[in-house]
Copies of this chain bind each other. A is one copy, B any other.
């Protein structure tokens, strides 16, 4: 019973901040393409959909990379965030389960564009094995361990049906993978030291439904949320309005 003695080292970046760094990075690369050289916290925050105080606090966890009176140098900040996120090295990914979703993932440009390299696609269905998807030939799931070892896979993306997910997870973990991105609608059990992140469609929809239900009375009729009008139209991340 001693979790209270958790004295976190200063090197530790808050989890909430880590989750936003990729958003900042995307906003920054957008600026980079438009050849913007420097950006203020206010501008970058607007592009990322957060407020500027939060942005500055987040960046302050990485170090002092801004210039007072001026702002942040885009190029430099891109590099610093990339380095912090571990994107200056390549990560090898395996996608397991090549149904509709796995196919979508295989073709997703965002993978390759940052340092994520898809080493292979695997499926249990004989009808799918051997097909070529986005330039990769689908291998049989039996070759999972072999592929992980051979290509040095460090991130497994599980896009199998729910029933198969835990078994696949156990196998990738046994092969030494310690990072799993799970699309199957199940709670995966993993040993300590393994990170699991979950993406769950139906959960997102249910959360929306909850808020939708709370809005003005019936369908087709909604309140233009008058009143204070204090908020600027900016932050889009999660705008919530409560009915009158």
Which residues of chain A have a CB within 8 Å of any CB of chain B? 1-3, 5-9, 11-12, 18-19, 21-23, 25-27, 47-49, 51, 84-87, 89, 91, 93, 99-101, 103-105, 107-108, 110-111, 113-116, 152, 154-155, 176, 178-181, 185, 187-213, 215, 219-228, 230-231, 233-234, 236-243
The 9 lowest CB-CB distance pairs between A and B, nearest first, are A86-B213, A110-B202, A100-B104, A49-B187, A2-B230, A193-B241, A22-B206, A101-B104, A22-B203
* B-side contacts of A5, CB under 8 Å: 226-228, 230
Contact of A19 among B178, B202, B203 (CB under 8 A): B203
Q: How many copies of the chain does the oligomer comprise?
A: 2
Q: How far is the CA of A110 from the CA of B190 in the complex (A)?
A: 24
A220 to chain B, nearest CB (A): 7
Whether the pair A237, B187 counts as a contact (CB closer than 8 A) is: yes
Whether the pair B86, A220 counts as a contact (CB closer than 8 A) is: no
- A232's nearest neighbour on chain B, judged by CB, is B1
Contact of A187 among B47, B110, B193 (CB under 8 A): B47
Whether the pair B2, A220 counts as a contact (CB closer than 8 A) is: no
Q: A176-B220, A223-B9, A233-B192 are in contact. Are A208 and B213 (CB under 8 A)?
A: no
- A149's nearest neighbour on chain B, judged by CB, is B220
Q: A114-B205, A204-B199, A215-B193 are in contact. Are A236 and B22 (CB under 8 A)?
A: no
Contact of A93 among B9, B87, B108, B205 (CB under 8 A): B205
